[in-house]
Structure 1
């Protein structure tokens, strides 16, 4: 039996956040963090949150058994320690005794078990990360001990737990609606459309769909104490137009930008002495995924032609603020060195040559309508779509951009007949391990309610490599060599365009003296707002807080 007990680190990384409307007068003891989001917030349910705004909200409202760190490790959080069986299939977690939900109820093992069963039952991305947990063999040993049994060895399990937000089971069951889950009704889905059941540093004070959300500090929070200058309230407003959002930043209505400015406008903030501009590399990995069941995307030569027709440099450096080219599903920062991967540089001549090799005639290719689903409210996504579809038309493909709500995109991806031919998005590598990113290129990833779930591509050799890697000690060189081989086989058949992982550019007012300055170790964890600090004596802070 291996025992793990890491002292819970109560500091380390800086994070960022959000707001909007106005306070009448600045109160130095009660600073309010204000920021904007460009994408709609369509759910507050941690089992269903997928876009960056939803993730930022739920990671501030809920806590987890383990907390991710910037070095891609995890430390105990609600769990103070855990034991792992010799066969690496049984995990026993020992819980802290001082963690409270927002209604004052202690967090106990029953809540951990409830939260795990819920994500494994409801459709959603989180359940996919934890699919190896046997839902029927979750054990509540005592109020402070819970045990999970895995169906098979899973090297990502501990890291994947950063996605399991712990819910107040008693509260949700007291507010359940009628539903398809027997005694659990709707599992609290309706309740969580506008309310929370969490234990995190903030609770949901107000939510207006399409407008914004207000979070307030939870006074009973013990896991990381609020320090002077930390925001006691967070206001996030939905601002679909990036230029409008940037102008509100300049006017002092927002304190920090949660969205990188367009490259031409970065200089406006950099040249303004009242602003700081932070930059750091992220693991936000951008892809154009293809539904390989839909003709002509079932033809590898067509997919290679499309990959060569993608102007990655323009997308990365003109539409976005720089980054590092991807060579496959997994960035080098997670996979390490992997030589011999097929790459597809922007080359319209090569694109035309691959089209000529297709099993489809030129006339046939024109008959296939290829929709690029552009997430509503995202100007960069639309610009990338226009860039790509224009080039695809040049090689004889009937491609067009279609604006679609994010929730409709992820729902469509769950079935091959409804999944879009192209979806551009980024995966923020919620689980910092090669396996989850590679698994979308096996049958295990088919139909996940996420853009990558709509690829529907498999090479049996890739699946065999992944299965073999899962049995090896996590992090072993032999394991990563197998992941490298899987990456090479995937890239060779081009089931997606592997674009880039980006550089985060974050303008902030200088009175926000502590904010996100590096990747947080998982999706948007740099934006845990209780780690932010204001200089409440700064004249600009006093002036702006009343706007």
Structure 2
């Protein structure tokens, strides 16, 4: 739903978005608005069925609601949101959610269990990458309406189509970008040629969250306006204005001048320069996503394990961690998040040029070869790529860097049309099962399988033994047995020289004005601005 601008609103928006003169000092943003600076190059769709990126998740967390949510202080604990309570049957095969009865969408339509069921059906019917989450549990477009259904206006019943730990599904309902609830009536009113509103929802919303999308200009600005009828109470801020900014120095300058309240994506040198300021505050948020170097096994060179191992020996893990990744990430060489009991220690990969050259010679490339590295042009991606280009050259691999927008870079990977890519994985669940499914699992290696949510499929990595282990771990109810399976899976991925090589686990550093209060970063970059306010 879009709110029409009055002349006053247009004037205010123009004032907010205009840069203050360079001579201005001690500027202040409006007390009832949050002005945010961040790169929006990866924000190309906010359709919950087709918006897997972190930036889209951050926007949608303020436009939509989920049945339940995770407790930020205890990721193994789930809290009520649209569902007041839920039950799991004794045999673990059925979940029943009892919904609040006072929730309205931004359109004014009441939110019902039918909207919840239809939202998940829509994800499966459209069959974009985010449908992979639900396919993994055995759902498909033919069975989902029978298995996920409203039994009355405020009761949703979910049957599991296969043997699995039901808490995995609970976790997905709490945190998956595709688990938000959309206004079925509003979306269908904008349907075009049976697309279930897909074209309209790219740049519009139909949610029940604390904010309404008022305006979005791609790679320019985005305006969220407080939803006065929000079931949990209206947000403290009247508006959130997001400005597209890619230059770290510009973000720093505008924070220091008071033209911005909060900034994402600042470069390490600029963060270091202001860390400790009494006018600004720095918050480091541990994320579940991984920075990685990936090779496509569809390429003849990278199909060979010795070549992949050579590349692994040409990544300067220590140098990247110490010189490039501060404020961006923490060293992690496993396809599993830090802090998990099931995670094995880092295997200790390090630069070894002589070994890399020997491996390349054994693989039939004594003089190396030429390849490309795709990446975003912003830090730390471009910095990782530049360092990788240099260290690969030491081993004889000549790599050209190709930069592009998020859609171009990740689109090439989703289409399995790349050689090397420096990217950031979209895994956000702090759970070993989800980590391994994201990076090491691939149930069907054919090009037409359409499994872009599996990074393993994108890189054409296929190992039936590993697939079976991960499947078994997702069904195992005995904790000791499950732990052993996760350990085996990591050992196999290491021995097979998996083509997706983790280098760092994301740390999202957010810088804000000292008077911004109530900002509590979420581990899935789904931070809500509901309780954010300014103390002036």
Give secondary structure in 2 for the equivalent of 1:64.
coil
Report how far residue 309 of structure 1 moved.
0.9
Question: In 2, distance between residues paired with 1:401 and 1:27?
Answer: 39
> What residue number does 2:359 align with?
354
Q: Is the 8 A contact 2:209 2:230 kept in 1?
A: yes
Q: How does 1:242-261 map to 2 (within 5 A)?
A: 242-259=248-265, 261=266
CA offset digits 1:130-154 (Å, max 9, x no partner): 2223424232211111222232234
Give secondary structure in 2 for the equivalent of 1:190.
helix
Q: Is the aligned partner of 1:211 residue 2:214?
A: no
Q: Is the 8 A contact 2:337 2:435 kept in 1?
A: no
Change (3 A) 1:51 1:467: closer
Partner residue of 2:208 out of 199, 204, 213: 199
Q: Is the 8 A contact 2:333 2:501 kept in 1?
A: no
Partner residue of 1:177 out of 171, 192, 208: 192
Q: How does 1:286-305 map to 2 (within 5 A)?
A: 286-305=291-310
Q: Is the 8 A contact 2:443 2:464 kept in 1?
A: no
Q: Is the 8 A contact 1:34 1:234 kept in 2?
A: yes
Report how far residue 450 of structure 1 moved.
4.9
Question: In 1, distance between residues paired with 2:420 and 2:164?
Answer: 31
Partner residue of 2:62 out of 54, 60, 63: 60
Q: Is the aligned partner of 1:130 residue 2:134?
A: yes
Question: In 2, distance between residues paired with 1:459 and 1:23?
Answer: 53
Report how far residue 29 of structure 1 moved.
6.8
Q: Is the 8 A contact 1:304 1:344 kept in 2?
A: no
Question: In 2, distance between residues paired with 1:409 and 1:27?
Answer: 35
Aligned residues: 495
Question: In 1, distance between residues paired with 2:464 and 2:269?
Answer: 45
Tell me the TM-score normalized by structure 2.
0.86
> What residue number does 1:459 align with?
463
- Structure 1 runs not aligned, ≥5 long: 1-18, 179-184, 538-547
Give secondary structure in 2 for the equivalent of 1:530.
coil
Change (3 A) 1:33 1:444: farther
> What residue number does 2:243 align with?
237
Question: In 1, distance between residues paired with 2:216 and 2:286?
Answer: 32
Q: Is the 8 A contact 1:311 1:388 kept in 2?
A: yes
> What residue number does 2:316 align with?
311
Question: In 2, distance between residues paired with 1:270 and 1:411?
Answer: 36
Give secondary structure in 2 for the equivalent of 1:277.
strand
Change (3 A) 1:335 1:301: farther
Q: Is the 8 A contact 1:262 1:319 kept in 2?
A: no
- Structure 2 runs not aligned, ≥5 long: 1-14, 21-26
Tell me the TM-score normalized by structure 1.
0.84
214-223 or 34-43: bigger deviation: 34-43
- Tell me how large the CA RMSD over aligned residues is: 2.6
Q: Is the aligned partner of 1:485 residue 2:488?
A: yes
Q: Is the 8 A contact 2:246 2:378 kept in 1?
A: yes
CA offset digits 1:289-318 (Å, max 9, x no partner): 221221211111111111121112332332
230-239 or 343-352: bigger deviation: 343-352
Q: Is the 8 A contact 1:425 1:451 kept in 2?
A: no
Question: In 2, distance between residues paired with 1:157 and 1:451?
Answer: 17
Q: How does 1:287-436 map to 2 (within 5 A)?
A: 287-321=292-326, 323-338=329-344, 342-358=347-363, 360-362=364-366, 365-366=368-369, 369-375=370-376, 377-416=377-416, 418=417, 420-427=418-425, 429-436=427-434
Question: In 1, distance between residues paired with 2:40 and 2:326?
Answer: 17
Q: Is the aligned partner of 1:142 residue 2:152?
A: yes
Q: Is the 8 A contact 2:29 2:35 kept in 1?
A: no
> What residue number does 2:9 align with?
none
Question: In 1, distance between residues paired with 2:245 and 2:453?
Answer: 23
